[in-house]
Amino acid sequence: MGELRLMKGNEVLAEAAIRCGCDGYFGYPITPQSEVMETLMELQPWETTGMVVLQAESEVASINMVYGAAATGKKVMTSSSSPGVSLMMEGISYIAGAELPCLVVNVQRGGPGLGTIQPSQADYNQAVKGGGHGDYRLITLAPASVQEMHDFVDLAFNLAFKYRNPAMILTDGALGQMMEKVELADFKPRWTREEIQEISGSWATTGKTASRERNVVTSLEMDPGKMEQNNLRFQEKFKAIQENEVRYETFMCEDAEYVLVAFGTSSRICQKAIELGRAKGIKVGLLRPITLWPFPSEVIASMTCRVKGFLSVEMSAGQMVDDVKLAVFNSGCTVPVEYFGRMGGILPSPNEVIEALESKLINR
């Protein structure tokens, strides 16, 4: 068993990055995630593992630093919160277009605009539909505990390198600020030059040697025919990710007549709501998407014909509910899909969720 600690989600992101052999972190302070960089600066991993940590002049710069370092085959990341992630969208699109692996963490806060510093899930569409320009997808992981904030750093890097695609951990201010018991992984050494050569040598800018052609990392292709071919290749990759990487968790769904669909913090609130609902005799369960993209559409479709309805519970005005509806639509059975949520940094409370379930689905 690894070391047990009581840690904030933000702190554990930093600790997990060091422990999984991350080569570099580039970031810019923004509430409610500044503890990520603060923790890294306190831990000084450049003295131990050799991991680089740099405070950039803006989120625009930090994502481009990630681009530069990722193109050399290094395992690098950034983190920010909603307004900062919006600034990164240009860079994320370039990273996806240049097929680079990296990790971006979004500790969401309420919006739009400068919004609030309180927790939110209103960047769902930005993350899973592609907030930058062009046809690309982000592998999007939604942790629901501090332990998963830890575990998903390594997982996100693994997926990013497996598919040469940026990965995002989409979390929120509640998970960033709250402390829970976490079991820390053992330290994995950073990749050696030889390992990078083996893993990424065919494309990374590791320096042109006589034994290979020069590597050029770019998202630009002037010939539209070739650019379409690039896009078709990306789509093949996205299809493979959809086939192989869907992750989800179900809770009390075996006999459920109603299924709450929620991720991250709202999925935790829903578990409590289910305790309350079950106590009242309501057969309710939870489907928690762990990967928001690829979305667990098939598991929703498989439930559709035996349940009476779905309630998508979100800390937004209803974004994921569209994906739930799409999954139900494709299942062939027709059941109602409703949304309940709070916005602007307000968290839904467990009793509100059950009240919404009753008014929107059970007593409709």
Partner 1 sequence: MDIKDIIKPENLVYDKSKLQIDTIMHYCPGCTHGVVHKILAEVIDEMGIQERTIGVSPVGCAVFAYNYIDIDWQQAAHGRAPAVATGIARTNPDKIVFTYQGDGDLASIGAAEILHACNRGENMVVIFINNAIYGMTGGQMAPTTLLGQRTSTSPGGRNVELNGHPLKITEMIAMLPGVHYVTRQSAHTASTVRKCKKAIRKAFENVMAKKGTSFIEVVSTCNSGWKMTPVGANTWMEENMFPVYVPGELKDNDKQVPSEKN
Partner 2 sequence: MTEELIIAGFGGQGVLSMGKILAYSGIMENKEVTWFPSYGPEMRGGTANVTVIVSDSRISSPVLHEYDTAIILNQQSMDKFESKVKPGGILIYDPNGIVHPPTRTDINIYKVEGTVTAVEMGNPKVFNMIIVGGYLKVRPIVSLDNVEKGLEKSLPARYHNLIPLNLEAIKTGQDIVEKVN
Q: Residues with Cβ < 8 Å from 233, sequence gap 6 or more?
A: none
Residues 6-25 within binding reach of partner 1 (CB under 8 A):
23-24
Q: Which does 206 bind (CB under 5 to 8 A by kind): partner 1, partner 2, none?
A: partner 1
Contact between residue 117 and residue 109 where contact means Cβ atoms under 8 Å apart = yes
* CB hemisphere CA count around 204 (13 angstroms): 23
Residues 209-228 within binding reach of partner 1 (CB under 8 A):
209, 214-220
Q: Residues with Cβ < 8 Å from 203, sequence gap 6 or more?
A: 99, 164, 215, 217
Residue corresponding to tokens 């998202």: 219
List 133, 181, 193, 306, residue binding partner 2 (CB under 8 A): 181
**How many angstroms separate the CA atoms of 306 and 256, rounded?**
9
Which one-letter amino acid corresponds to residue 104?
A: V
Q: Give the range of 16-24, 39-47, 179-187, 203-211 binding partner 2 by CB under 8 A.
A: 179-187
Site for partner 1 contains 64 (CB under 8 A): yes
Residue corresponding to tokens 């989800």: 248
Site for partner 2 contains 264 (CB under 8 A): no
- CA-to-CA dists, residue 311 to 24, 38, 319, 332, angstroms: 40, 38, 12, 18
Does the N-terminal peptide bond of residue 32 adopt cis geometry, omega within 30 degrees of 0? Answer: yes
Residue whose CB is less far from partner 2, 265 or 304: 265
Strand partners, 80: 106
The DSSP 8-state label assigned to residue 211 in this structure reads T
Query: What minimum distance in Å lies between the beta carbon of 337 and partner 1?
Result: 39
* CB hemisphere CA count around 282 (13 angstroms): 24
Q: Which does 195 bind (CB under 5 to 8 A by kind): partner 1, partner 2, none?
A: none
List 19, 137, 268, 288, residue binding partner 2 (CB under 8 A): 268
Question: For residue 221, which of 134, 345, 319 has the smallest C-alpha distance?
Answer: 134
Q: Which does 230 bind (CB under 5 to 8 A by kind): partner 2, partner 1, none?
A: none
Cβ atoms < 10 Å from Cβ of 344: 16
Site for partner 1 contains 202 (CB under 8 A): no
Q: Give the range of 55-63, 136-144, 172-180, 312-320 binding partner 1 by CB under 8 A.
A: 55-63
Site for partner 2 contains 347 (CB under 8 A): yes
Q: Residues with Cβ < 8 Å from 94, sequence gap 6 or more?
A: 67, 219
Which one-letter amino acid corresponds to residue 336?
A: P
**How many angstroms separate the CA atoms of 300 and 305, rounded?**
10
Site for partner 1 contains 334 (CB under 8 A): no
Question: For residue 142, which of 152, 130, 131 has the smallest C-alpha distance?
Answer: 152
Site for partner 2 contains 3 (CB under 8 A): no
Query: What minimum distance in Å lies between the beta carbon of 268 and partner 2?
Result: 5
Residue whose CB is less far from partner 1, 214 or 280: 214
Residue whose CB is less far from partner 1, 61 or 182: 61
Mask for 134-163, x = binds partner 2 (CB under 8 A) = ------------------------------
Give the pair of three-digit tokens for residue 4. Answer: 């047990």
Site for partner 1 contains 74 (CB under 8 A): yes
Site for partner 1 contains 54 (CB under 8 A): yes
Mask for 23-42, x = binds partner 1 (CB under 8 A) = xx-x----------------
Query: What minimum distance in Å lies between the beta carbon of 206 and partner 1?
Result: 7
Mask for 32-61, x = binds partner 2 (CB under 8 A) = x-----------------------------
Query: What minimum distance in Å lies between the beta carbon of 60 and partner 1?
Result: 7
Give the pair of three-digit tokens for residue 168. Answer: 């995002």
**How many angstroms separate the CA atoms of 157 and 103, rounded?**
6
Residue whose CB is less far from partner 2, 3 or 198: 3
Binding residues vs partner 1 (CB under 8 A): 23-24, 26, 52, 54, 56-58, 60-62, 64-72, 74, 76, 90-91, 94, 98, 205-209, 214-220
